[in-house]
Amino acid sequence: MFSDYSMSELTAIFAMQGFAGLILFSVFVLMALGLAIIFGQMGVINMAHGEFMILGAYVTYLLSNFFEAYLPALFSIYFFIAMALAFVVSGALGMFVEWAMIRHLYKRPLDTLLATWGLSLILQQVYRSVFGAREVGVTIPDWMIGSLPLTDMIEIPINGIFVMVLAVGISVAVYVMMYRSRWGQQVRAINNNRVMADAVGINTAWTDRMTFAIGCGVAGVAGSAFTMIGSTGPTAGQLYIVDTFLVVVFGGAGSLLGTIASAFSISQAQSILEFFLSGSMAKVLTLLTVVGILMLRPQGLFAMKLRK
Amino acid sequence: MLDYNNPNFVLMVEGLTVSFDGFKAVNDLSFYVEPNECRVIIGPNGAGKTTVLDLICGRTKATAGAVAFKGHDLLKMREDQIVHAGVGRKFQTPSVYEDLSVFANLELSYPKGHGVFGALFFRRDQAVRERIEEIAEMIFLKDHLAQKAAFLSHGQKQWLEIGMLLIQDPELLMLDEPVAGMSVAERKKTAELLNRIIADRSVIVIEHDMGFVEDIATRVTVLHQGKVLSEGSMDRVQNDPKVIEVYLGH
Amino acid sequence: MINPFTHKYMNGREALGFAILAAIIFVLFPLVLEPFRLNLFGKYLTYAFVAVGLVLCWGVGGILSLGQGVFFGLGGYCMAMFLKLEASSPENTAIQSTPGIPDFMDWNQLTALPWWWEPFNSFAFTIFAVVAVPVVFAFVIGVAMFRRRVGGVYFAIITQAIAAILTILIIGQQGFTGGVNGITDLRTLHGWDIRTDEAKTTLYFVNGVLLFAVLFAAQFVRKSKLGRLLIAMRDQEDRVRFSGYDVANFKIFVFCLGAAFAAIGGAMFTLQVGFMSPSFVGIVPSIEMVIFAAVGGRLSILGAVYGTLLVNWAKTTFSESFPELWLLGLGALFIAVVMAFPNGLAGVWAEQVAPRLRKLWPGNAAAPENTPAE
Amino acid sequence: MSENEKPKNYAGMSRRAVLAGGAALSASLFTPKFLRAQDFPTAEINTTGLAVTDDTVTIGILHSVTGTMAISETGSVQAEKLAIEQINAQGGILGRKIEYIQEDGASDWPTFAEKAKKLLVNDKVASVMGCWTSASRKAVLPVFEQYNGFLYYPTFYEGLEESPNVIYTGQEATQQIIAGLDWVNQTKGAKSFYLLGSDYIWPRTSNKIARKHIENFMDGCKVVGEEYYPLGHTQFNSVINKIRLKKPDVIYAIVVGGSNVAFYKQLKAAGIDMTKESPILLTISVTEDEIRGIGGENIEGAYACMKYFQSLDNPNNEAFVSAFKEMWGDDMVIGDVTQAAYLGPWLWKAAVEKAGSFDVDKVRAASPEIELTSAPEGYVKVHENHHLWSKTRVGRAQADGQYEVVYETADLVEPDPFPEGYQ
């Protein structure tokens, strides 16, 4: 298929295609980080993860309207405020959900799956009642739209760069939080041995709540960022759920690095396949490969081998 | 080369090694168990005692070494095949089926109907019932057959688990801390039970309670950092300066 | 407490439970419901097949599959293929560029029937395939997963991904599968018009009989040693393994059995509703089917049927009068059944209703099914 | 649904205003015949036991108000209710007020079939306005044929169907595709086309027709790529790169739902500025409704091929748009399908009055050749194949979310659901 093109054209395309893969990678990382915290560290299956993301998107939508109407001068930077607010709002909802629901279910992971699925239905209906069934259009500041021409032929989407920077930033933040802070130590201690953690004076209830809230908050930020590249509607969250879970599981639950590595491999596979095959078949092949590998290596790519 | 059919030993472990991410929990371990022997494995925490049992019964896969049991290469077999070959294993924390009655617990361990369809069409006939009652008598639970296992005391659960192994009549029985959490009276009864059991088979026991070890042990193996530190009769081991150092030293 | 020394397939109370359900399905519904509603209940009951399978897999065996829609769908598609071929006789399809093949194939420029459609000209083969195709599929998944000891949450997520893959495939291969519209406009079964009220009533009864066959089979499994083993495996998998059982085989078996049940339900669905589409294969219907079992009481075979009927009836009723409330209600139901009533209707019955009934009417109380522990 | 579903001013003061608006509209546009109920004895005009009384007639509205399709179907429900309101304000049909029973298909095809059956069997409705997706229509079709119901289906769709029990008020595929392709070829000189769609029957069938037309009927034109993405797909950067590589003159996009939003946002972000028309983006799946989710600034400059745009400049449409906004709120937008849905009750009214009966067989017999001079899209006529003759128009998307009409066919385009040479 490439015989008709000049060398420079091909270079340009491959560069951009590589970039497309990186954007997809960043999207996967953003989707999966919140879940990796919640599922990996707490063992909770949050099927409402997508709805937490959409909550962040709606926050962004409301804020964009607010700034357009009352603070047009600051419109160009509203997006940062929106992301911060999305974190707070989704996190607060997460905190409430943990308190009302999740904390009663820590010993029944499959039941958290059903309960959070119920939660996702409720949230969808709430969004529909509040914001209407239609998708809402989120206005993005002008500077975030468009592309940077690197050469004559290579153009890099600005929102792609933004998503990538954000993915790196949040990954680093989460890494620091989980592996370099006292709080992260506590979370991991609880994950390893809840009773012991309790006994040595870690406030497990509070730590659980914060972990869940932060996971949801990160989802909210992801949702906020995705208003640049995707749709915001009551049921849009469901589009993400299968991909997100596969990324986390494929990476090996409990391993942040694994999640990132798995996001990288899945995104590259999908992006390359999409380039050479039709979109649907690329998707099917990617999913099949992931499921196939998971069957061969159920603990995921990066799970540690532990004494049982 | 290990002679898998050596009739002098029931179990032969040679050069057994397992490493978890580089950490060698069991390191080039060898020991031999004779018929009708009661071997007690002792050692400080983290010595690799439970891991050894895990390796023998197939719960953990070995990195290197050989385990021979009556001509079988246990390292190549699945857990259930190892059980069928005649190795029984009791876990450290009593694991019985709490939702089922004592009777059903024993029945599930009865060595018949182990295939899918065998289980589906398994009939609870006279022979089954008699055998279960016989075992129940032995493990002091004859009056508790109808009870849900969840309601048994900790010690009774330990006995039940031993009973679940006995009903299979294994040639090698491996017990991980069988008297942990038992009262003094219960310990005595358990020692009695074990002595009766040993008559027909070999037993490997992990235990910390030295009094209890003295009551039952034919020979003792001391593990330290995944290796054999000392082996022999109770007396000999107790007087081995290396053992004394590990237990009392530093 | 059940006498541990007897081992009966069904005790008196369970027999009464079966009898009451039979009376409801075979007498009460046909008497009080007009044909339209009866057909609707027939459709609900096809989901009960799935729910009963889930009771065995999930409630008893602890294996939560979020891909039961796959098996329901495969069974349904097998039946739909046969019916579609019958509806696509050369006379019926004379206006097509290639008469004699299903209309959607013609629209997609297929000029001959794909080879794997050919066997579905035979009704005997179709009946065989309805069960065999999903079971083989389940077997492959089961062997791959359970042999490698994938369980719990991972199994749930992977089955969910499989449901997603199959949906994309069916929709994408529309020339062979009818795509997103599904296989529609099914008319006759061996010349017998399945669209008439009489036919639908007949199918309702066939469906009922099959459901009872499945219920009896489930009861047999539940009461067999295999049933107790499943419970044992759910709680102490290692102990079972070290009692000399090959745990994977039992899981594969019960997963295949659940698939077979779901497939029969799917085939009956196709017959009663008159079409099959990918919207029953995906994630959402698969999870909804789990809630049917959960509402009934995840350990209760009969509860699964009541749960299915109740949820679907509520769905129809609510969505007729308060469509916007339905999702809220369904969501709340998921949460309530997990948090407040983990044993579902059967639990409520056994803990709340039955004791009171017994007080009112000593010695003669009927329970649809008792709580499990044996 | 709530907010969007409820007429904005229903409860408030201006219900009368709506009716007055409707009446005014009808007075000016819909030649009113004042028919009195007593001139049409119920027994004569309803011989098949439909839900017709001496002063009312009941019809069904069957759309999804919950689930994923609610997004799309809301507008249709609103338009149908508006039409019913206006017809009633004008005196109803054969002197009878229209009452409606609304059922929710819940984006679930068996539910559609189930509810269709309920409407026909239990409620005996005289006709049904409903369905949106092809899948839902395919699901209800056997029910309508079995119980001899009568459905007005509003969506532009893939064709390949001609049921005696359905009037298709939207375009079949050729009506929407061919004129648009010819236009872009003739006025823009486009020669190469990249076909893209969501992966299901409508985009695939439509692209098939487009490909046949491009390859067989347009001199020197070719298709340089064709592909499909699963419904709900949100990542289009790879395909955008492929498009760059192929350098087509036209991207022919039939992406739907949430994918739509992602596609246009990513296209714009990738530096493909549609206002520069290199390449030209031509779509048949984005109405004004969809633009609300996409954002006008993200799709500005794209061309859409429809039969109706809200911005159409004619008195019928002005009246329609203002009545619609009055009933449902000023922020409403009206897309192609919404307008087609609005035609349903009016076409049925005309057919019933021509037949002088509510009986489905008579209405069916009367339907071909029914004309509506008052349609917002202009003059339409029912073809004997139950589709509508209508014009094809091309609009250019503006930043404000509206289309500027840049082209319309001179004559009505004949519906051709089974196009020869395109299969």
pLDDT in tens, A245-257: 888 888 876 678 8
List the single residue in B20, B51, B54 with the smallest CB-CB distance to A305: B20
CA distance D74 to chain A (A): 8
- Poorest-confidence range of C105-119, C126-140, C358-372, D30-44? C358-372
The stretches in chain B having pLDDT less than 50 are: 250
Band of pLDDT at residue C2, cut at 50, 70 and 90: very low
B51 within 8 A of B26, measured Cβ to Cβ: yes
Chain B's closest residue to A303, CA to CA, is B21
Give the pair of three-digit tokens for residue D395: 């609009």
DSSP assignment string, B62-83: -SEEEEEETTEEGGGS-HHHHH
Tokens of C1: 């407490």
Shared domain check, D177 and D166 = no
Residue A53 pLDDT exceeds 50: yes
- In angstroms, what separates the C-alpha of B94 from chain C's closest C-alpha? 10
Residue (of D182, D233, D189) closest to D209 by Cα position: D182
Please tell me the distance from the alpha carbon of residue A163 to that of residue A226, in angstroms, as a whole number: 8
Place of tokens 């933004």: A162
| Predicted pLDDT at C139 | 96
What b/e string do you get for A220-251 counting C-beta neighbours within 10 Å, with b at 16 or more? Answer: bbbbbbbbbbbbbbbbbbbbbbbbbbbbbbbb
Query: Is residue D7 over pLDDT 60?
Result: no
Residue D415 placed within a domain: no
> Whole-angstrom Cα distance, residue B224 to residue A69?
74
CA distance A64 to D134: 36
At residue A253, the pLDDT reads: 67
Q: Do D104 and D20 share a structural domain?
A: yes
Given a contact cutoff of 8 angstroms between Cβ atoms, the answer to whether D307 and D390 are in contact is: yes
Judge if D217 and D281 occupy the same domain.
yes
Task: Please identify which residue in the block is written with the tokens 């081998």.
Answer: A305
Provide the shortest C-alpha distance from residue C68 to chain B (in Å).
22
Q: Which of C106-115, D189-198, D234-243 has the highest mean pLDDT?
A: D189-198
Among all residues of chain D, which has the CA nearest to that of A135?
Answer: D293
Sign of CA dihedral A242, A247, A251, A255: negative
Q: Are C373 and C4 in contact (CB under 8 A)?
A: no
Nearest-angstrom CA–CA distance, A14 and A261:
22
For every residue of D97-109, DSSP letters joined together read EEEEEEEE-TT-H
Q: What is the extent of the structural domain holding D278?
A: 173-306+393-408
Q: Which chain D residues are Cβ-neighbours of C168 within 8 angstroms?
A: 199, 230
Question: Does some domain include residue D419?
Answer: no
Q: Is the pLDDT of residue C130 over 90?
A: yes
Whether D245 and chain A come into contact, CB under 8 Å, resolves to: yes
Q: Which residues of D touch A137 (CB under 8 A)?
A: 291-296
Spell out the residues 6+ positions from residue A161 whose beta carbon is closer than 8 angstroms to its own: A148
Report CB contact under 8 Å: A307, B51: yes
C-alpha distance from residue C356 to each of A19, C15, C347, C359, C366 (Å) = 68, 20, 14, 5, 11
Residue D417 lies in a domain: no
Residue D89 lies in a domain: yes
Residue of A nearest to C238 (CA): A308
Pairing of strands B202-206, B172-176: parallel
User: C-alpha angle with apex C84: C78 to C85, nearest 5 degrees?
Assistant: 95
Number of domains into which chain D is organized: 2
Q: What is the pLDDT of residue B1?
A: 58
Query: Cβ C238–B168 below 8 Å, yes or no?
Result: no
Q: How many CB atoms lie within 10 A of CB C196?
A: 12
Give the Cα separation of A120 and A133 in Å (integer): 15
Residues D37 and D178 in one domain: no
Average pLDDT over residues A209-222: 92
pLDDT for the residue D395: 95
Rounded to a whole number of angstroms, the distance from the CA of D156 to the nearest CA of chain A is 19
Per-residue pLDDT, averaged over C154-165, amounts to 88
Q: What is the pLDDT of residue D18?
A: 45
pLDDT band at C196 (very low <50, low <70, confident <90, very high): confident
**Domains of chain B, start order:** 11-248 (3.40.50.300)
Task: Take residue C362 and report the two structure tokens written for it.
Answer: 């000593």
In angstroms, the CA B229 to CA C357 distance is 68
Which chain C residues are closer than 8 Å to D133 by Cβ?
A: 180
Res C58: pLDDT: 93
Strands A155-157 and A147-149: antiparallel
Average pLDDT, chain A: 84
In angstroms, the CA C210 to CA B53 distance is 49
Task: List strand residue ranges (DSSP E) for D199-238, in order.
Answer: 222-229
Percent of chain A with pLDDT over 90: 24
Read off the tokens for D174.
């050729």
Mean pLDDT along residues D1-9 = 44
> Is the model more confident about C83 or about A113?
C83
Q: What is the pLDDT of residues A83-112, one digit of tens each?
A: 999 999 999 999 999 999 998 988 888 888
Nearest alpha-carbon partner for D358 in D73, D146, D6, D46? D46
Please determine, for residue A63, whether its predicted confidence score (pLDDT) is greater than 90.
Answer: yes
The CA distance from C289 to C265, in Å, is 12
Greater pLDDT, D359 or C185: D359
Peptide bond into D279 cis (omega under 30): yes
Q: Is residue D418 part of a domain?
A: no
Which residues contact residue D243 at a Cβ distance below 8 angstroms, ignoring those fewer than 6 apart? D194, D196, D225, D251, D272, D279
Same domain? For D385 and D399 the reply is no
Query: Could you tell me the two tokens for A239?
Result: 């589009």
Q: Spell out which residues of chain D touch residue C182, defining contact as CB-CB under 8 Å.
A: 109, 135, 138-139
Chain D residue nearest residue A128, CA to CA: D1
Residue D134 domain-assigned? yes
Statement to judge: residues D108 and D12 lie in one domain: yes
Contact of C218 with C61, CB cutoff 8 Å? no
Q: pLDDT tier at C361 (50, 70, 90 boundaries)?
A: low
Q: What is the dihedral of CA B178, B182, B188, B191, to 10 degrees?
A: 0
Determine contact, residues C134/C71, Cβ cutoff 8 Å. yes
CA-to-CA separations, B64 to B52, B60, C194, in angstroms, rounded: 13, 12, 66
The yes-or-no verdict on residue D387 having pLDDT over 50 is: yes
From B88, B106, B243, B93, select the one nearest B173 (Cα to Cα): B88
For all residues of chain D together, what is the average pLDDT?
87
Residue C239: pLDDT over 60? yes
Q: Assess whether D165 and D179 both reside in one domain.
A: no
Q: What ranges do the domains of chain A cover?
A: 16-240
Kindly state whether residue D422 falls inside one of the protein's structural domains: no
Closest by CA to C49, choosing from C213, C261, C341, is C261
Q: Is the pLDDT of residue A307 over 50?
A: no
Domain annotation covers residue D137: yes
Query: Which residues are CB-neighbours of C306 under 8 A, at least 6 positions away?
Result: C21, C296, C345, C368
Q: Does the structure show a pLDDT above 70 at D12?
A: no
Residue with tokens 């015989």: A3
Q: For residue D227, what is the domain's CATH number?
A: 3.40.50.2300
Q: Which residues of C touch B176 (CB under 8 A)?
A: none
**CB contact at 8 A, D194 and D248:** yes
> What percent of chain C shows pLDDT beyond 90?
46
Q: How far apart (Å, rounded) are the C-alpha atoms in residues C348 and C351?
A: 5
Q: What is the pLDDT of residues C8-17, one digit of tens each?
A: 677 888 889 9
User: Minimal Cα–Cα distance from B193 to chain C, Å?
Assistant: 20
Residues of C in contact with D104 (CB under 8 A): 319-320, 323
Average pLDDT for A173-201? 81
Give one DSSP letter per residue of C103-129, joined into a string. Answer: HHHHHTT--S--GGGGGGG-HHHHHHH
pLDDT attached to residue A3? 63
Residue range B44-89, pLDDT digits in tens: 887 888 889 999 988 888 888 889 998 888 888 988 899 989 998 8
More confident position, D150 or B208: D150
What is the bridge-based pairing of β-strands B227-232 and C188-189? unpaired
What pairs with residue B73 in β-bridges? B68
| Whether D152 and D187 share a structural domain | no
Same domain, D231 and D353: no
The closest CB to that of C236, out of B97, B107, B120, belongs to B97
Q: Is the pLDDT of residue D23 over 50?
A: no
Instruction: List the one residue out of C186, C184, C140, C147 whose CA is nearest residue C166.
Output: C140
Q: Can you give the pLDDT at residue D6?
A: 46
* Amino acid making up residue D314: N
Find the chain A residues whose C-beta atoms sit closer than 8 A to any C-beta of B. 304-308
**Cα–Cα nearest to B202, from B4, B33, B6, B12:** B33
| Residue type at position C175 | G
Distances (CA, A) of C290 to C130, C235, C307, C313, D178: 22, 20, 10, 16, 47
The segment with the largest mean pLDDT, out of B29-43, C103-117, D183-197, is D183-197
| Residue B152 DSSP label | S
**Bridge partners, D393 (sequence order):** D306, D408
- Judge contact between C245 and B78, C-beta under 8 A: no
- Residue C66: half-sphere exposure toward Cβ, Cα within 13 Å: 25
- Do D98 and D211 belong together in one domain? no
Torsions phi, psi of B25, nearest 5?
Answer: -75, -35
DSSP string, C192-250: EETTSHHHHHHHHHHHHHHHHHHHHHHHHHHHSHHHHHHHHHHH-HHHHHTTT--HHHH
Q: How far is the C-alpha of D240 from the C-alpha of D266, rounded, in Å?
A: 8
Please tell me which residue, A13 or A225, carries the higher pLDDT value.
A225
Q: Would you state the structure tokens that stand for residue A56, as one six-digit string?
A: 């962040």
Q: Quick one: D186 and D265 in the same domain?
A: yes
pLDDT of residue C96: 81
- Shared-domain flag, residues D27 and D160: yes
Q: Of C371, C253, C374, C369, which is closest to residue C306 (Cα–Cα)?
A: C369
Please tell me the distance from the alpha carbon of residue D19 to that of residue D326, in angstroms, as a whole number.
10
**Beta strand pairing status for C192-193 and C188-189?**
antiparallel
**Hey, are the CB atoms on D113 and C274 less than 8 Å from each other?**
yes
